[in-house]
Amino acid sequence: MARLRRKPEINKQTIVEAFAEMAKYKGIDRDLLQGILEDTLSLLVRKKYGNEANFDIIVNMEKGDIEIYLMKTIVEVVEDPILEISLDEAMKISDEPCEIGEEFVIEISLDSIGESFGRRLINLATQSLTQRIKEIEKNNIYNEYANKIGEVIVGEIYQIRRNDLLIMHNKVEMHMPREEQIPTESMKYKKNQNIKSVIKAVKKNGPAGLPEIILSRANEKFLERLFEIEIPEIYDGLIQIKAIARDPGRRSKVAVQSFDDRVDPVGACVGMKGVRIHSIVRELNNENIDLIEYSDDPQTFIQRALLPAQAKEIQLFEDTRSANVIVTEDQVPLAIGTNGQNIRLASQLTGYNLTLIKEASEDIDIAEFNEEIGEELINKLIEKDIKTARDFLEADPEYLLTIEGIDNNFILEIRRIILTEFEEEENPEYIEKLNSLTN
């Protein structure tokens, strides 16, 4: 087999070393990158010698060498110049003996390829190479982080924008939209600050062509992961988080269950002197966390979820996953919470649509006070639609004074008797209004 050698002028080792460094920097497999380089060189060879050309490209990443060989068959009369070379031509350019039918190998220099095509085609090949590398880099990033959805990472804030934060993690750009931030801490963000968050979602095609990695600190999963990090019993599976409801930065309710009778789930999460839960609270910018022991019994679970409010009765409607929560008047503000926060979080935690109902106040038929009031006045009150003791207490004093036989002293005395029965105190504003009507 005859062979023609041409001395390459381009530094092949420099090219290979550059690719090896790129593979290391971008985390691309060296063998894969080698294949891309071979494909790019093949594109140039075919552009010069034709698609039917018989050639071989060898890239040795270890030795830093690139070899390109063009193979032609030695013939007497050339019919296909792409695949054949004449015996006379072969003998002119080869120092070795040549025979018809032999394979004639020409080593092609990178320099000769560059001279043949000029800048335009070299740029085309470079663009193709760059695009292939970007695609691999894109797939590598996507595959790496798609498998990490739900995991906590620590990144560095490198840009604070109006609607999101740009965060770098292992030289990969990620972003945290405003709705995924904790509202109460947005003014505390600083450039180059380390920030802990959970990977919420990974989209393959982001705005810049690379995967879009969305981080969150407001998501329930972030709170769940913090519990796993800070509380060994949860990480080891002795305690399980059954449900989480969050109002990020303000308040959360976390239902926990122990699989070991010796382990108190709430106490384990709080830790000695509250050290465990305080660590989580600090990370969440002092978000209040209500720890609740989970129960399989819906009524018990709803009771606990509504704490610090005490429900007097819970009426379940399993077919609609709803419940009426009956509370006394003094428990209404606690059950509702600030801006409805408590009952809203309890609904989210339990999975039941909770409706708050204030318990009807105790009442007594007005006729029960016949001895104190007298039958005649009792009948007059009933005629005026005052049928119960509560009706009497809530009636406007000016309205009561229109009833014949009722005066200031009578009203005060009957109110005293009824209030004593209900174990309630007199309303000073009512007395003030009554005095203003009779003075």
Query: Residue 160: which residues within 8 A CB-CB, separation 6 or more?
Result: 166, 189, 190, 191
More confident residue, 111 or 297: 297
pLDDT for 240-268, tens place per residue? Answer: 999 999 999 999 999 999 998 898 999 99
From 200, 245, 428, select the one nearest 337 (Cα to Cα).
Answer: 245
Confidence check: pLDDT of 112 > 70? no
The pLDDT score that the predictor gives to residue 27 is: 63
Average pLDDT, the chain: 84
> pLDDT per residue over 317-326, tens digit each?
998 999 999 8
Q: What whole-number distance in Å separates Cα of residue 24 and Cα of residue 218?
A: 35
Task: Return the pLDDT at 359.
Answer: 74
Lowest mean pLDDT segment, chosen from 58-72, 286-300, 382-396: 58-72
Question: What tokens were used for 28?
Answer: 């691309």
| CATH 1.10.8 at 2-144, yes or no | no
CA distance 336 to 328: 12
- The pLDDT confidence band at residue 436, using thresholds 50, 70 and 90, is confident
Distance CA 169, CA 245 (A): 28
DSSP H or E segment with residue 196: strand 194-203
Instruction: Supply the pLDDT for residue 64.
Output: 65
Element (H, E) at 325: strand 322-327
Confidence at 9, pLDDT banded by 50, 70, 90: very low
Tens of pLDDT, residues 352-368: 999 988 876 677 888 88
Q: How confident is the model at residue 29 (pLDDT cuts 50, 70, 90)?
A: low
Checking 389-393 for CB contacts under 8 A at 24+ apart, the result is 389/363, 389/364, 389/365, 389/418, 389/421, 389/422, 390/361, 390/363, 391/366, 392/366, 392/418, 393/418, 393/419
pLDDT value at residue 10: 46
Q: Which helix (H) or strand (E) holds 93?
A: helix 87-93
pLDDT, residue 205, reads: 79
CATH for 221-358 (3.30.300.20, 3.90.550.10, 3.30.70.1380, 3.40.50.720)? 3.30.300.20
> How big is the chain, counted in residues?
439
pLDDT band at 302 (very low <50, low <70, confident <90, very high): very high
Query: Closest Cα to residue 9, out of 120, 117, 125, 107?
Result: 107
d(CA 293, CA 305): 9
pLDDT single digits (tens) 147-193: 999 999 999 999 999 888 999 998 889 999 999 999 888 778 899 99
What is the pLDDT confidence band of residue 8, given thresholds at 50, 70 and 90? very low
What span, in angstroms and rounded, lies between the C-alpha atoms of 357 and 376? 37
CB 171: neighbour CB atoms within 10 A?
9
CA distance 24 to 33: 10
Percentage of the chain beyond pLDDT 70 is 86
Q: How many CB atoms lie within 10 A of CB 380?
A: 16
Q: What distance separates the 2 farthest-apart alpha carbons in the chain? A: 143
The pLDDT of residue 123: 60
Residue 205 DSSP symbol: S
Q: What pLDDT does 6 receive? A: 47
What pLDDT score was predicted for residue 354? 92
In CATH, the number for domain 148-218 is 2.40.50.140
The string of pLDDT tens digits covering residues 376-396 is 888 989 998 999 888 888 888
For 73-101, the pLDDT digits (tens) are 888 888 888 888 888 888 888 777 888 88
Give tens-digit pLDDT for 206-228: 766 788 999 999 999 999 999 99
